[in-house]
């Protein structure tokens, strides 16, 4: 009897794998089950081979696993693809059409169940109904109320007419009959405790959460050039632009996008850009301009493997150094690395307020895994969410870069008051006019760099400790690896290991040196080849992590629970 289950679907692009994923996760959540889905995609519009993993549980699950309980290859070559990436083992049940399954000979007789999807779909009305057949077969394994499926199809296909709705329902029922036969045979039994409260949860992916966070932060301008995996944020904000009064601009390139964003803040808007590593490379001159102008700016960067085009539809944490050191000259910045869907919302919202308060660039550093993974969460708590605007009404004596003890000069905008708002990319005096006064130059650097950074550090978010402070091993992680570390730590049953997880990677909270200094032994888990966060910690704390205690992954895939558990088990070696 399975108390949780993992399902993996695989087919080339264009087969509708994501459509099946949407139906399954929606229906499972509506029935009171926790769901998590993540995608593995090739960078092709058609062809290649893609897969989606869906985990179903009575507990919160939000991490990638290699083990698969139910594999559903929807085309020729799909089973081989899943086997290549260790998604099929001796305990996996494979459901699909026998004629499509090259590699079937390696499975035991009880591992395969013939599901004639194409034949059923043809009898219903054509191959377009194949996905609904597959959904019906899988949902029968979880004993999903048919009325939920009927309601889903009515909502999903209602605009296409009653006939299309009914044919999808018929396809679902035919698939469900095959699923029920499989359950009756005793070859698979799933019994997952349901919680009716889960049906009221939100099903969000990371890109939607970043977009919602931007809206909650008062974003009313976005200019970007499309680049995976960040484009869904641009799409989400464009879809809701009229509802929330957002100007959306698809720029001709990333250089233009960054400069338009800076111009928007100068005019009084709250702007952002969304991009990936290669696009951000073109934004670095504009980033330095924001530093010199002391302009607020919010940059969302969805990481993917590089350099150059790299693997545009895969995941990595390889742009930390890129973002930390980008731009010429010295100026402060803030780097958030959301750990969860909730983090993606709250930290993006916080980024706008922090950028406005300190007049600095603030980064929201995500990755393909977080942006394209989805799971159910309780409704977001908006009680403490406020748009904190810092713009002042100027008077005739206004000085844009007035030297202040805090380092923060009052920020005015054109036509809001009697003052003249002058900004300059050259070094400037307090009025904003160009200067080569070298004594004033030092004062300006002290103001915009040292004094601001000192105050920004005081607002840094502390890392979260999972486990005991008296641990033998302290394992560092950051960003989207939160859930895999948390689950692996629990499954390892190692009481002598704790995890210190960061969702702000710069500047670091003052507690970090103490955590690392008191640890008996240190280890780290990162999705990059250069141990980038480990090296940042060494620079900031003068404490290094031994190379043998670094688990680094850079093949384009997220960490699986199994490989992190193995790493934790071997830390004694």
Q: What is the CATH number of the domain that holds 215?
A: 3.40.50.970
Is 365 in the same domain as 409?
A: no
Strands 521-526 and 473-478, by their bridges, are: parallel
| 3-state class percentages of the chain: helix first, strand second, coil last, to nearest 5 | 45, 20, 40
Is 75 in the same domain as 129?
A: yes
pLDDT tens-digit map of 28-44: 999 999 999 999 998 88
Within 10 angstroms of residue 233's Cβ, the number of other Cβ atoms is: 30
Residue 138: closest CA among 177, 184, 92: 177
Is 314 in the same domain as 242?
A: yes
Is 343 in the same domain as 439?
A: no
Q: Is residue 145 part of a domain?
A: yes
Is 474 in the same domain as 433?
A: no
- CB 17 within 8 Å of CB 66: no
The Cα angle at residue 170 between residues 167 and 172, in degrees rounded to 5: 110
pLDDT of residue 548: 95
pLDDT of residue 43: 87
- CB 299 within 8 Å of CB 214: no
Q: Is the pLDDT assigned to residue 59 strictly greater than 80?
A: yes
Q: Is residue 449 part of a domain?
A: yes
Kindly state the average pLDDT of the residues 282-292. Answer: 98
Is 130 in the same domain as 216?
A: no
Q: Is residue 245 part of a domain?
A: yes
Q: Is residue 538 part of a domain?
A: yes
- CB 344 within 8 Å of CB 335: no
Structure-block tokens of residue 281: 């490379």
Q: Is the pLDDT assigned to residue 75 strictly greater than 80?
A: yes
Q: Is the pLDDT assigned to residue 204 strictly greater than 80?
A: yes
Q: Is residue 384 part of a domain?
A: no
Q: Report the CATH number that the domain containing residue 97 is assigned in CATH.
A: 3.40.920.10
Strands 361-367 and 334-336, by their bridges, are: parallel
Is 25 in the same domain as 132?
A: yes
Alpha helix (H) residue ranges in 86-161? 117-124, 130-141, 146-157
Q: In the beta sheet, which residues pair with residue 71?
A: 8, 94
Is 352 in the same domain as 289?
A: yes
Share of residues in the chain with pLDDT > 70 (%) = 99
Whole-prediction pTM:
0.96
Burial 205-225 (b: 16+ CB within 10 A, else e): bbbbbbbbbbbbbbbbbbbbb
pLDDT tens-digit map of 220-274: 999 999 999 999 999 999 999 999 999 999 999 999 999 999 999 999 999 999 9
Boundary-marking domain end, from 399, 425, 459: 459
pLDDT tens-digit map of 295-317: 999 999 999 999 999 999 999 99
Answer with the residue of higher pLDDT: 101 or 329. Answer: 329
Residues 6+ apart with CB under 8 A from 26: 152, 203
Q: How far apart are CA 167 and CA 315, in angstroms?
A: 38
| Beta strands, E only, 232-384 | 247-250, 271-275, 297-303, 334-336, 361-367, 374-377
**pLDDT band at 573; cut points 50, 70, 90:** low
Is 260 in the same domain as 290?
A: yes
Q: Is the pLDDT assigned to residue 104 strictly greater than 70?
A: no
Boundary-marking domain end, from 200, 232, 256: 200
The domain total for the chain is 4
pLDDT of residue 58: 94
Is 30 in the same domain as 162?
A: yes
Residue 131: closest CA among 111, 151, 157, 110: 157
pLDDT tens-digit map of 148-171: 999 999 999 999 999 999 999 999
Is 453 in the same domain as 470?
A: no
3-state secondary structure of 34: strand
Residue 68: closest CA among 83, 58, 80: 83
Structure-block tokens of residue 445: 């650097």
pLDDT of residue 349: 98
Within 10 angstroms of residue 448's Cβ, the number of other Cβ atoms is: 24
Within 10 angstroms of residue 93's Cβ, the number of other Cβ atoms is: 21
Expressed as residue numbers, the domain containing 139 is 4-200
Strands 202-205 and 70-73, by their bridges, are: unpaired
Strands 497-502 and 473-478, by their bridges, are: parallel
- CB 471 within 8 Å of CB 497: yes
**pLDDT band at 102; cut points 50, 70, 90:** low
Peptide bond connecting 507 to the previous residue in cis, omega within 30 degrees of 0: yes
Q: Is residue 385 part of a domain?
A: no
8-state DSSP, 496: T
Compute the mean pLDDT over every residue in the chain, rounded to the nearest whole number.
95
Phi and psi, residue 340, nearest 5°: -140, 175
Q: Is residue 254 part of a domain?
A: yes
Q: Is residue 297 part of a domain?
A: yes
pLDDT of residue 510: 97
DSSP labels, 184-251: HTTS--B-----GGGGGSEEEEHHHHHHHHHHHTT--EEEE---TTTHHHHHHHHHTHHHHT-EEEE-
pLDDT tens-digit map of 418-475: 999 999 999 999 999 999 999 999 999 999 999 999 999 999 999 999 999 989 999 9
Q: How far apart are CA 110 and CA 491, in angstroms?
A: 29
* Cα distances (Å, whole numbers) of residue 72 to 15, 49, 140, 310: 13, 13, 14, 29
Q: At 56, which helix (H) or strand (E)?
A: strand 47-57
Radius of gyration of the chain (CA): 26
3-state secondary structure of 553: coil
Is 566 in the same domain as 531?
A: yes
Boundary-marking domain end, from 443, 459, 475: 459
Q: How far apart are CA 202 and CA 196, in angstroms?
A: 13
């Amino acid at each position: 009897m399975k108390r949780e289950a993992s399902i993996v679907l695989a087919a080339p692009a264009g087969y509708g794998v994501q459509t099946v994923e949407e139906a399954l996760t929606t229906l499972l959540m509506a029935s009171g089950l926790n769901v998590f889905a993540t995608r593995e995609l090739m960078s092709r519009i058609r062809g290649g081979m893609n897969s989606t993993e869906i985990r179903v549980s009575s507990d919160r699950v939000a991490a990638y696993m290699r083990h698969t309980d139910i594999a559903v290859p929807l085309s020729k070559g799909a089973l081989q693809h899943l086997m290549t990436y260790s998604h099929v083992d001796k305990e996996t049940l494979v459901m699909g059409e026998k004629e499509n399954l090259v590699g079937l000979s390696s499975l035991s007789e009880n591992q395969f169940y013939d599901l004639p999807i194409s034949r059923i779909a043809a009898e219903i009305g054509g191959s377009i109904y194949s996905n609904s057949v597959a959904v019906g077969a899988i949902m029968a394994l979880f004993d999903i109320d048919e009325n939920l499926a009927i309601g889903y199809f009515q909502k999903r296909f209602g605009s296409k007419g009653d006939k299309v709705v009914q044919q999808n329902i018929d396809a679902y029922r035919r698939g469900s009959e095959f699923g029920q036969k499989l359950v009756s045979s005793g070859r698979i039994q799933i019994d997952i405790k349901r919680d009716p409260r889960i049906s009221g949860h939100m099903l969000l992916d990371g890109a939607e959460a970043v977009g919602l966070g931007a809206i909650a932060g008062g974003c009313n301008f976005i200019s970007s050039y499309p680049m995976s995996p960040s484009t869904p944020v641009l799409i989400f904000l464009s879809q809701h632009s009229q509802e929330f009064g957002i100007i959306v601009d698809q720029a001709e390139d990333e250089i233009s996008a960054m400069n338009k964003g800076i111009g928007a803040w100068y005019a009084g808007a709250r702007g952002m850009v969304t991009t990936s590593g290669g696009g951000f490379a073109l934004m670095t001159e504009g980033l330095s301009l924001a530093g010199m102008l002391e302009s607020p700016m919010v940059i969302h960067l969805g990481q993917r493997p590089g350099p150059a085009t790299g693997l545009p539809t895969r995941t990595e944490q390889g742009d930390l150094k890129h973002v930390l050191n980008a731009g010429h000259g010295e100026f402060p910045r803030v780097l958030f690395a959301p750990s969860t869907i909730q983090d993606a919302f709250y930290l993006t919202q916080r980024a706008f307020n922090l950028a406005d308060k300190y007049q600095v660039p603030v980064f929201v550093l995500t990755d393909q895994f977080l942006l394209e993974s989805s799971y159910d969460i309780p409704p977001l708590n908006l009680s403490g969410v406020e748009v904190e605007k810092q713009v002042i009404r100027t008077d005739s004596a206004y000085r844009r870069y007035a030297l202040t003890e805090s380092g923060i000069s009052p920020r005015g905008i054109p036509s809001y008051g009697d003052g003249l708002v002058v900004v300059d990319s050259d070094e400037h005096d307090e009025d904003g006019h160009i200067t080569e006064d070298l004594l004033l130059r030092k004062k300006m650097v002290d103001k915009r760099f040292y004094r601001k950074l000192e105050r920004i550090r005081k607002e840094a978010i502390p890392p979260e400790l999972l486990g005991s402070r008296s641990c033998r091993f302290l394992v560092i992680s950051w960003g989207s690896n939160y859930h895999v570390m948390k689950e692996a730590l629990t499954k390892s049953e190692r009481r002598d290991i704790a995890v210190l997880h960061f969702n702000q990677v710069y500047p670091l909270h003052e507690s970090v040196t103490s955590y690392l200094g008191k640890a008996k032994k240190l280890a780290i888990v990162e999705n990059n080849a250069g141990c980038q966060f480990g090296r940042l910690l060494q620079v900031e704390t003068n404490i290094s992590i031994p190379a043998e205690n670094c688990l680094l992954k850079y093949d384009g895939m997220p960490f699986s629970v199994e490989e992190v558990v193995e790493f934790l088990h071997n830390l004694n070696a």
